[in-house]
Chains A and B, each alone.
Chain A
Amino acid sequence: DTGVSQDPRHKITKRGQNVTFRCDPISEHNRLYWYRQTLGQGPEFLTYFQNEAQLEKSRLLSDRFSAERPKGSFSTLEIQRTEQGDSAMYLCASSRLAGEDGYTFGSGTRLTVV
């Protein structure tokens, strides 16, 4: 069990650029979640996958955001035409099917849009 890995840890980008983040979950976890955390706030749910299927997307996830989990293993989160309001910590988590065991979170990707 190597935990949940996220790459990169930090990303600084200019407004208008596209960025992509990667998450590698714990291998036996079926579910993968993306959350966004802004300063002084708790994480907010963005989307989750069960295997390769994206089962739910938050209304926070505008059309500029897209997430994939092509083979039910790693996942990517892409933000197109970044805005300063996208600056946040993007957290990935994984869990077994029902989530009863709790989630294992990665260390996050901190995005700064300048």
Chain B
Amino acid sequence: AQSVTQLGSHVSVSEGALVLLRCNYSSSVPPYLFWYVQYPNQGLQLLLKYTTGATLVKGINGFEAEFKKSETSFHLTKPSAHMSDAAEYFCAVSPTGANSKLTFGKGITLSVRP
């Protein structure tokens, strides 16, 4: 079974500041890990994913995340926040193999102050 923990429901940063959104997972098999962003009344857009290989993955809009197996973490970062980054962010895990349904965390709302 898989589960995802996203600590805190809301993060607020100033424009230009570092963004750090935390994600910890549990999985009984090697996982695929994903970060999605959701803007109001829209579906989810894939930011980045980890499947195999390099543990530091880069995504769209300047975001990146590092898979740390020993810490069972997949935290999302961006060096400099932009106003347009304000949205809800979801971390998700799926098992490798045939059954690839996603298990999502509860999400974190990111606010960016001018």
Q: Contact between A105 and B44 (Cβ–Cβ < 8 Å)? A: yes
Which chain A residues border B99 with CB–CB below 8 Å? Answer: 55-56
Q: Contact between A91 and B98 (Cβ–Cβ < 8 Å)? A: no
Q: Contact between B42 and A103 (Cβ–Cβ < 8 Å)? A: no
Residue of A with least CB distance to B45: A105
Cβ of B114 within 8 Å of any chain A Cβ, yes or no, is no
Q: Contact between A42 and B106 (Cβ–Cβ < 8 Å)? A: yes
A109 → chain B closest CB, angstroms: 10
B38-76 to A contact mask, C-beta < 8 Å, 1/0: 000111111001010000000000000000000000000
Q: Contact between B34 and A102 (Cβ–Cβ < 8 Å)? A: yes
CA distance A55 to B99 in the complex (A): 9
B50 → chain A closest CB, angstroms: 10
Q: Contact between B46 and A103 (Cβ–Cβ < 8 Å)? A: yes
Cβ of A95 within 8 Å of any chain B Cβ, yes or no, is yes
Cβ of A106 within 8 Å of any chain B Cβ, yes or no, is yes
Q: Contact between B100 and A98 (Cβ–Cβ < 8 Å)? A: yes
Q: Contact between B90 and A42 (Cβ–Cβ < 8 Å)? A: yes
A100-114 to B contact mask, C-beta < 8 Å, 1/0: 111111111010000
Checking A44, A91, A99 against B32 with a beta-carbon cut-off of 8 angstroms, the contacting residue is A99
Cβ of B9 within 8 Å of any chain A Cβ, yes or no, is yes
Q: Contact between A100 and B51 (Cβ–Cβ < 8 Å)? A: yes
Q: Contact between B32 and A100 (Cβ–Cβ < 8 Å)? A: yes
Q: Contact between B32 and A43 (Cβ–Cβ < 8 Å)? A: no
Residues A41 and B106 in contact in the complex (CB < 8 Å), given A100-B51, A102-B49: yes
Residues A41 and B107 in contact in the complex (CB < 8 Å), given A102-B46, A106-B43, A107-B43: yes
Cβ of A22 within 8 Å of any chain B Cβ, yes or no, is no
B:90-112 near A, CB below 8 Å: 90, 92, 94, 96-107
A-B contact pairs, 15 of them (CB 8 A): A35-B102, A41-B107, A42-B105, A43-B102, A45-B102, A95-B100, A98-B98, A99-B100, A99-B101, A100-B100, A102-B49, A103-B102, A107-B43, A108-B43, A110-B41
Question: Which residues of A approach B to under 8 Å, CB–CB?
Answer: 4, 6, 31, 33, 35, 40-45, 48, 55-56, 91, 93, 95, 98-108, 110
